[in-house]
């Protein structure tokens, strides 16, 4: 165990005036934003299908995970002819972990059953055999203790990756995450950086009950010094994971329990995504739909219906839950003048509420209608499947919200 705590190196001390070590340029968002010149890669994921009941008790349409990802795509292009290799989302996470552990000997993983068992969802499968028990460390069921141990290791130059068997269990480590992980860079006057990644499955699954269906984004968003990202495809899961591991900031990495079996072809060559950048999933002109994680697929199913009805929605996966990419969001608002937010967080105090406030503060003059936010109901997630479905935002509700937004501004079809 002494090897784990040995200081391998110290990161450069950072200014105590900054809680985040950010490479993004900050400016006043009230100013006119020039168009950012960047190449946008529309990622399509072919994965699990979903069916259930909507709020009226009718059978919901099957979830089409890759619906209307781009405005136009060659029908002759087949997955087999594209370069790269196909991975499930949990396999993409594992590949990102493996590459970073091989690249940097200070990177290590700890958590319950992450070793030879391979993790509760097999994200760390095979890593213990490759890197040994000290770099893939099985811990007792004591989240507060091993989270504190990881933070101490990070202060001494290591880069720990903490796996929560379920993100809800990390509430037991809330003191370590809030008072130490998020604040030590500031309270030490910049003497320490805390390059910790906290990751694990969360969100509403199928029949997992209220305790295992937690959405902790809303819990952690108010902690100073913490960055938060949410992956939604194998491509961005790997790219964001590698970026989170390399970051000098503590990063909470949200994975949805129902997205682990989404499959996608990703590049063979190495790539790292920007932790603070949203993804343009579908360009459009009429309304901006902001979403993340599993709700991306509900939105894309709704987008298919909307396009068939003559609407042209723009869909953005915000990915960075803290800080928000107000550059991408702002340019979209200035184009469409209408905003719909779709989230799985609770209605009260969720990511959507913070996003609404940020948009209203920075882009109020560009809005032609009030911002609409569709969230989960303020109730514990029920165990029965039919009730569970009704607490969440379903595609028909998204379609109705867009139709009402467009009708209120006279921009129908």
> What is the DSSP annotation of 272-301?
---TT--EEEE--SSEEEEE-TTHHHHHHH
The pLDDT of residue 412: 58
- Of 164, 173, 176, nearest to 112 (Cα)? 164
Q: How far is CA 150 from CA 14, 100, 260, in A?
A: 20, 17, 25
What residue spans define the domains of the chain?
85-266, 276-408
- Location of structure tokens 């910049």: 190
Q: What is the pLDDT at residue 58?
A: 37
20 close to 227: Cβ distance less than 8 angstroms: yes
**Given this model, what pLDDT does residue 386 score?**
85
Contact partners, residue 387, CB within 8 Å, separation at least 6 = none
Phi, psi (degrees; rounded to nearest 5) at 230: -130, 125
What is the DSSP secondary structure assignment for residue 224, as one 8-state letter?
A: T
Given this model, what pLDDT does residue 348 score?
Answer: 87
User: What pLDDT shows up at residue 413?
Assistant: 55
User: Would you say how long the chain is, in residues?
Assistant: 413
Q: Under DSSP, is residue 265 helix (H, G, I), strand (E, B) or coil?
A: strand
Domains 85-266 and 276-408 share a fold: yes
Q: What Rg, from alpha-carbon coordinates, does the chain have?
A: 21
Q: Which fold has domain 85-266?
A: Rossmann fold (3.40.50)
- Work out the widest C-alpha separation in the chain, in whole angstroms: 67
Give the number of other Cβ atoms within 10 Å of residue 10's Cβ. Answer: 12
Domain 276-408 annotated CATH 3.40.50.920:
yes
* pLDDT beneath 70: ranges in the chain: 1-81, 410-413
Q: Which residues are catalytic?
A: 143, 212
SS3 content of the chain, % helix, strand, coil (to 5): 35, 15, 50
Q: How far apart are CA 89 and CA 158, in angstroms?
A: 26
**Cross-strand pairs, 201:** 255
pLDDT recorded at residue 207:
78
CA–CA dist 58, 301 (Å, integer):
16
pLDDT of residue 81: 59
């Amino acid at each position: 165990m002494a090897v784990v705590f040995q200081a391998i190196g110290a990161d450069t001390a950072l200014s105590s005036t900054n809680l985040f070590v950010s490479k993004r340029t900050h400016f006043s968002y009230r100013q006119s934003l020039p168009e950012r010149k960047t190449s946008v890669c529309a990622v399509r994921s072919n994965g699990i299908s979903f069916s259930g009941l909507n709020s009226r008790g009718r059978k919901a349409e099957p979830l089409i995970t890759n619906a209307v990802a781009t405005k136009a795509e060659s029908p002759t292009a087949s997955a087999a002819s594209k370069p790269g290799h196909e991975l499930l989302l949990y396999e993409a996470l594992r590949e990102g972990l493996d590459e970073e552990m091989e690249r940097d000997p200070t990177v290590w993983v700890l958590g319950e059953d992450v070793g030879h068992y391979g993790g509760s969802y097999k994200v760390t499968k095979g890593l213990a055999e490759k890197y040994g028990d000290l770099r893939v460390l099985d811990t007792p069921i004591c989240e507060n203790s091993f989270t504190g141990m990881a933070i101490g290791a990070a202060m001494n130059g290591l880069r720990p990756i903490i796996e929560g068997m379920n993100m809800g269990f990390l509430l037991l480590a809330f003191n370590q995450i809030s008072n130490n992980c998020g604040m030590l860079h500031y309270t030490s006057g910049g003497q320490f950086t805390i390059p910790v990644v906290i990751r694990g499955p969360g969100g509403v699954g199928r029949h997992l009950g209220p305790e295992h269906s937690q959405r902790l984004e809303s819990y952690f968003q108010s902690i100073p010094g913490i960055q938060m990202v949410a992956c939604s495809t194998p491509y961005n899961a790997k790219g964001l994971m590698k970026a989170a591991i390399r970051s000098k900031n503590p990063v909470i990495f949200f994975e949805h329990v129902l997205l682990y079996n989404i499959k996608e072809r990703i590049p063979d060559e190495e790539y790292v995504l920007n932790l603070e950048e949203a993804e343009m999933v579908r360009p459009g002109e009429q309304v901006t739909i902001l979403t993340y994680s599993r709700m991306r697929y509900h939105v894309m199913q709704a987008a298919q219906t909307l396009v068939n009805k003559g609407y042209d929605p723009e869909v953005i996966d915000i990915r960075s839950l803290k800080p928000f990419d107000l550059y991408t969001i702002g340019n979209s608002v200035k184009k469409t003048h209408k905003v719909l937010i779709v989230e799985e967080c609770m209605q009260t105090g969720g990511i959507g509420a913070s996003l609404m406030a940020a948009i209203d503060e920075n882009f109020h003059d560009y809005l032609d209608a009030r911002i609409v936010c569709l969230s989960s109901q303020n109730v514990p997630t029920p165990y029965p499947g039919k009730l569970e479905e009704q607490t969440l935002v379903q595609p028909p509700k998204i379609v109705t919200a867009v139709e009402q937004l467009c009708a209120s501004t006279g921009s129908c079809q």
